[in-house]
Structure 1
């Protein structure tokens, strides 16, 4: 009798782990993005050939139930970097999508949040290479990871943790 009860308790415990309930399930896409609406600020350090402080501010505002506009600026390597676009959750395809500069990037669910990775080639004033940015909305914070791979100056990276202001 005792081993049967223990077996039943074990089976119930395993079932609870395998079947997501409303209280344990990750938030729906639009609700997840909506939980990050507001104004954000943060700073980090650009590391590479030289090190310098990176300062960012970002505003994420609702446009529709599942679409949010973002706008902000970062001072990166002495240059202002404008951040502007939309983040959305497409109910039909069940996909997170970021749009910026007429480009579309699909987000990936990770750790109860979503991560967008964007990359583009650049050529400017004798410099060329690849600029990449990772945009993570996870754990109640927004993190931006920059990676600049410049043929002339080498690799530089920065991580900026944003907090709601």
Structure 2
């Protein structure tokens, strides 16, 4: 029994569809408000192929990235920058990151500080991914956006002898 050319083509296309869907599906993300900023294009082309051992996946939104299957790290460039804050800040490989969520949360969100456009990174702690394994991976991509402000940790603000400015807001 032989298949007609149209039926054969349908079987081949269906098989190809199954093979393609067997790969990790596209990660659906919402682009940030300023995702079309040229700085985000610079970040996007420099994103690493792996983060914390997880492979990069395709996303459906401009200036975004996702790693792992299921996705354990997400990135969005073009989020609104934050101003002075009392939230914890850490410098990792020259990039200032503000911890935007409770450090005990299952999903942690960091945002760059002092760079416009700003970038946020979401880390899924449920699947054992650590901040220390993730944040350094983005330094070379994000360093292309000029830093205009540095964040200070609590020790810097408590021991500073400079004239105090306005109180930071949350």
| TM-score clears 0.5 | no
Query: TM-score band, normalised by the shorter chain?
Result: under 0.3
Greater helix share, structure number = 2
With the length of structure 1 as denominator, give the TM-score of the two structures. Answer: 0.28
With the length of structure 2 as denominator, give the TM-score of the two structures. Answer: 0.27
Greater strand share, structure number = 1
